[in-house]
Amino acid sequence: MTQGIPKAGSFTLPRFNGRRGKRAWDRHTWLYVAVIIAVVLGASIGLIWPEFAVALEPIGKGFVSLIKMMIAPIIFCTIVVGVGSIAKAATVGKIGGMALLYFMIMTTFALAIGLVVGNIIHPGEGLNMTNSTYDADTSEAKTTQEFILGIIPTTFFSAFTGESVLQVLFIALLVGFALQKMGKKGEPIMFAVKNLQALVFRILGMILWLAPLGAFGAIAAVVGKTGFAAILSLGVLMIAFYITCALFIVGILGTLLYVVARVNLFSLMKYLGREYLLIVGTSSSESALPRLIAKMEHLGVSKPVVGITVPTGYSFNLDGTAIYLTMASLFIAAGMGMPMSIPEQIGLLLFMVIASKGAAGVTGAGLATLAGGLQAYRPDLVDGVGVIVGIDRFMSEGRAVTNFTGNAVATVLIGTWVKEFDAARARHVLAGDLPFDESSLTGTDHDGMSDAPDAVGVAGLEEAAIAEDERLEGRKARAGAH
């Protein structure tokens, strides 16, 4: 196995470009700094001039309304595309099937951990985030039968004009599976949905530039109503979230990695040190994806396993995001004085398992998923998302680092289970005997991808890996026939 990024006849793995990456980093850094300033300014006004601060609440509500506006198209596009990714990964057989099963189990586990910790520490208690804009009318289901029947929309398109996110989810699943059954005929429609998804996320990106304004209004109003206790509650949530992520990484992922592959988690994290610096600098695990692929190859995991597991994991293995979603939901419920019941928490967990797929690496997608989950099960809590916007940026590094570590560990585990992992080579690499060749990571494209004619982007990497795997299997079959 050669060092650096191996190439095959059908595709080239993407490569990281530091120079172009820094320009993107600068743009998001300005937004990051603006949100921090807005939070500090909003909290200060809330403490010094509470009456005026409370009057700023409509600013935060306006931003939340813009996020709510995007929920239906985001859920529809990500689920339809996500179902396609599942179908493609499953066609690879053992590798894809095992990866998908592992991702679903670990994401569910992470969501459950977030709920458990949230129920123990009760973040948000003592806050005054309530407002009188919600009217709990008869549109909410009162029985299980009404709830189930309410998932079915009146017409195909009425799901997109109503307020039921579950109806959008239902239609998206039907469309996704129908497109898979259509085969080649469904490809133009899937291509159109992917383009629509790009448009939707571009609009979401535009809306997120108003995040400093939304965070300013929401934080000012909450601090104005509650006082210094609001700042303490937000701090407790952030600290609890980071502690939970650390315990998940060391306690769960670290133990699993050592038991299955006999690899020390801290050695693996040291090996991926530069990638962690890149993630902290950009607040996104997506920025390190090309480097993770190259380094997992260098570590000793086979090309088909890396090519399928890593891109799929970036859409389906979001452990940090899962912990964040459940803890933030409980924080909002407690802060608005309307805690969620256990059945509601379980329903929310199931929704998040499905709805959080397919939107990885897109700034603001987690915020939209959070709003979507609350809209589906507790629409009276959606306005509380405005407060989360203020601290969302502070928790983004924790989410990104946890997601990245989860995918790195998953790649080694899947490789071990399918016997496509060179443990002896891994020991030499982690010991520093086989250093990674940084000079092999070049490229000139805006997202750090290779500009080679046969290269594919992140979105096409999984398909290319599957095609490569099928090509190799076909060659083996023909060789066996002779």
Q: Write the pLDDT tens digit of every residue in 258-276.
A: 999 999 999 999 999 888 8
Among the listed ranges 17-21, 221-225, 242-246, 342-346, which one has the minimum average pLDDT value? 17-21
Q: What whole-number percentage of the chain has pLDDT above 90?
A: 12
Residue-level pLDDT at 417: 92
- pLDDT confidence band for 123 (50 / 70 / 90): confident
C-alpha 181/C-alpha 351 separation (Å) is 24
What are the residues whose beta carbons fall under 8 Å from the beta carbon of 351, sequence distance 6 or more? 165, 166, 169, 372, 373, 376, 377
Q: What is the pTM of this model?
A: 0.65
Residue-level pLDDT at 407: 92
pLDDT top residue among 282 and 121: 121
Residue 283 pLDDT more than 80? Answer: no
Residue-level pLDDT at 92: 55
Residue-level pLDDT at 429: 92
- pLDDT confidence band for 286 (50 / 70 / 90): low
pLDDT top residue among 475 and 454: 475
pLDDT in tens, 405-434: 999 999 999 999 988 899 999 999 999 888
Residue-level pLDDT at 5: 36
Region of residue 463 (phi > 0: left; psi between -120 and 50: alpha; otherwise: beta) = alpha
Among the listed ranges 88-97, 148-157, 355-364, 466-475, which one has the minimum average pLDDT value? 355-364
Length in residues, the chain? 482
Region 19-34 average pLDDT: 57
- pLDDT confidence band for 81 (50 / 70 / 90): confident
Region 153-170 average pLDDT: 80
Region 62-90 average pLDDT: 73
Residue 385 pLDDT more than 90? Answer: no
In angstroms, what CA-CA distances link 458 with 193, 290, 412? 17, 8, 20
pLDDT in tens, 293-330: 889 989 999 877 887 788 778 767 888 888 888 888 88
| DSSP alpha helix (H) spans, 262-384 | 265-271, 273-282, 289-299, 303-316, 319-335, 342-355, 365-377
Of the CA atoms within 13 Å of residue 167, those in its CB half-sphere come to: 16
Residue-level pLDDT at 299: 93
pLDDT in tens, 433-469: 888 876 655 332 323 333 333 333 344 444 555 555 5
Residue-level pLDDT at 380: 78
Name the range with the highest mean pLDDT among 98-112, 116-130, 226-240, 380-394. Answer: 98-112
C-alpha 291/C-alpha 308 separation (Å) is 15
Q: Which residues pair with 7 in a beta bridge?
A: 12
Residue 226 pLDDT more than 80? Answer: no
Per-position b or e across 11-21, b if 16+ CB within 10 A of its CB: bbbbbbbeebb
Residue 332 pLDDT more than 60? Answer: yes
Residue 251 pLDDT more than 70? Answer: yes
C-alpha 388/C-alpha 131 separation (Å) is 16
CB neighbourhood size of 356 (10 A): 26
Region 81-86 average pLDDT: 67
Residue 3 pLDDT more than 50? Answer: no
pLDDT top residue among 122 and 114: 114
The 3-state DSSP class for residue 28 equals helix
Residue where the block lists tokens 């009760």: 122
Residue 128 pLDDT more than 70? Answer: no
pLDDT top residue among 475 and 121: 121
Residue-level pLDDT at 450: 33
Residue-level pLDDT at 272: 92
pLDDT top residue among 427 and 480: 427
pLDDT in tens, 170-200: 888 888 888 878 888 888 998 898 888 888 8
- Token digits for 305? 């396993």
Residue-level pLDDT at 17: 43
C-alpha 22/C-alpha 108 separation (Å) is 35
Max Cα distance, the chain (Å): 84
| DSSP alpha helix (H) spans, 15-132 | 18-48, 50-54, 57-91, 94-121
Residue-level pLDDT at 471: 62
Residue-level pLDDT at 23: 44
On average, the pLDDT of the chain sits at: 74
In angstroms, what CA-CA distances link 467 with 101, 270, 273? 21, 33, 32
